[in-house]
Amino acid sequence: MLKILHTSDWHLGRRLYGQTRYETFAAFLNWLYDCIVKQQIDVLIVAGDIFDSMTPSNKAQALYYEFLGRISQSGTCQHIIIVAGNHDSPSLLDAPKDVLKFLNVHIIGTACENIEEEVITLNNKNNEPQAIILAVPYLRDKDVRKSNAGESSTQKQSQVVAGITKHYAQATEFAAQKQNDYLKKYGKKVPLVATGHLMAIGGKTTSDDGVRDLYIGSLGGVSANMFDPIIDYVALGHLHVPQLVGGNEHIRYSGSPIPMGFGEANQQKQVLLIEFTDEMHIKPINIPTFQRLAQIKGDMDHITQQINQLKTLNEPVWIEVIYNAKQIVSNLSEQLHQLVQASDIEIIKINNTQTYQKILKQTEQSESLHDLSREDVFARCLETHDISEDQRTELMACFQEIVYEIEHDDVRAE
């Protein structure tokens, strides 16, 4: 039997509206270690976005390396596969890969020039192949297409999807050859597992999960049909909601292990256990809640009632309040903070919809940049300066392209 555990999107170092979450990340990694030991996991796959930033803090990196060290010493997990996501610095992940390889930690931060290097054979304790991994990281624009002057966003996206499809096809072809060779030599089929950090067509997101558009001018567009049927399981990262892709049981997002925003507050987080015996079995393992979040929406009476109910839990709760009644409450923040005094509840964010109805005419103190996306800020600048509608569309597209280039420039690379 071969046991693989699929997780992704740790986002170590991510803050929630200014609140650090290192204790929560540490609690998750401790739980993950215990889960690996308890379930006797052979292979751990982390499908990208290990860190939340290309320049992670020392504390976030310490959590990462301490976890890898503990797993390597546990004597349980034989191999760890880590691929980079769009939030990660490929060069940061790749830097220690030659050292970590001695601990059976296999890292692919950057798409390999020789695509065969992304196809990794994992051997068991008898030095026989137990799995073939297509360890494909997040494929950046420059990895899969050549830039040509004058291209439209649609043309760029089409070429990106074609490039990603070609990349997987070439890697799968080489992996299939390996699988066939092992079948002849050992008389058994070796499972073929692929990784990916991408946006699939029809993928579910939440409003404040921090998932970025991966390619210019598009929310994604990779079809499940891209993955060859010869692949036994596809371990995906990027989307924070656990889900199947195109209804296929064997193509899955594990989702993020902790809520990345209040929109995920009621979402059951999980990792995925894949067991290979005569058949493949997939079992979700629920992750406990390490820091309770709550999103409360309504008028003042409803908000008060919900907060009072949370008080009865007698445990720390971070909450977001969305006040959406028509009646204007001038001292909303003061009233809310009085409600949670002498309790374990902390109000992290207050969203007063009355504020948004006065956008650009009057800004209230309760609104901050945390409430706005970059596109919101830029759109307001365009409106403030009376830019015409025709020009706004073009300028917004240019703005998004600039942001894309900034985010995909690995600042740690030479």
The tens digit of pLDDT for each residue in 246-263 reads 899 999 999 999 999 998
pLDDT of 390 strictly over 80: no
> In this structure, are residues 231 and 246 in contact, taking their beta carbons and an 8 Å threshold?
no
pLDDT of 77 strictly over 90: yes
Q: Which tokens hold the place of 292?
A: 């309770």
The per-residue pLDDT for 294 is 94
Across 175-239, the runs of DSSP E, i.e. the strands, are 192-197, 233-237
The per-residue pLDDT for 363 is 45
Q: Which tokens hold the place of 226?
A: 């891209």
Distance CA 56, CA 63 (A): 11
pLDDT of 300 strictly over 60: yes
Distance CA 71, CA 76 (A): 8
Confidence grade of residue 211 (pLDDT, cut at 50, 70, 90): low
The neighbouring-strand residues paired with 12 are 51
Distance CA 114, CA 391 (A): 44
pTM for the whole thing? 0.85
Angle, vertex CA 410, rays to CA 407 and CA 414, nearest 5: 155
The per-residue pLDDT for 148 is 66
Distance CA 192, CA 230 (A): 8
Confidence grade of residue 373 (pLDDT, cut at 50, 70, 90): low
pLDDT of 197 strictly over 90: yes
* Mean pLDDT of the 179-188 span: 94
Confidence grade of residue 270 (pLDDT, cut at 50, 70, 90): very high
Distance CA 396, CA 402 (A): 10
The per-residue pLDDT for 361 is 46
The per-residue pLDDT for 364 is 44
Confidence grade of residue 278 (pLDDT, cut at 50, 70, 90): confident
The per-residue pLDDT for 326 is 82
Phi-psi region of 244 (alpha: psi -120 to 50; beta: other; left: phi over 0): beta
The per-residue pLDDT for 208 is 63
Confidence grade of residue 325 (pLDDT, cut at 50, 70, 90): confident
The per-residue pLDDT for 412 is 62
The per-residue pLDDT for 160 is 84
Q: Which tokens hold the place of 347?
A: 């109000």
- Determine the distance from the C-alpha atom of residue 23 to the mean position of all C-alpha atoms in its chain, rounded to a whole number: 19
pLDDT of 96 strictly over 60: yes
| CA-to-CA separations, 278 to 6, 191, 289, 348, in angstroms, rounded | 20, 11, 34, 50
pLDDT digits (tens, 9 = 90+) for 216-256: 444 456 889 999 999 999 999 999 999 999 899 999 999 99
Q: Which tokens hold the place of 40?
A: 């006797």
Q: Which tokens hold the place of 388?
A: 């015409």
Angle, vertex CA 263, rays to CA 259 and CA 268, nearest 5: 50
* Mean pLDDT of the 54-80 span: 94
Q: Which tokens hold the place of 71?
A: 């797993």
Picking from 62-66, 298-302, 367-371, 399-403, which range would have the lowest pLDDT averaged per residue? 367-371
Query: For all residues of the chain together, what is the average pLDDT?
Result: 87
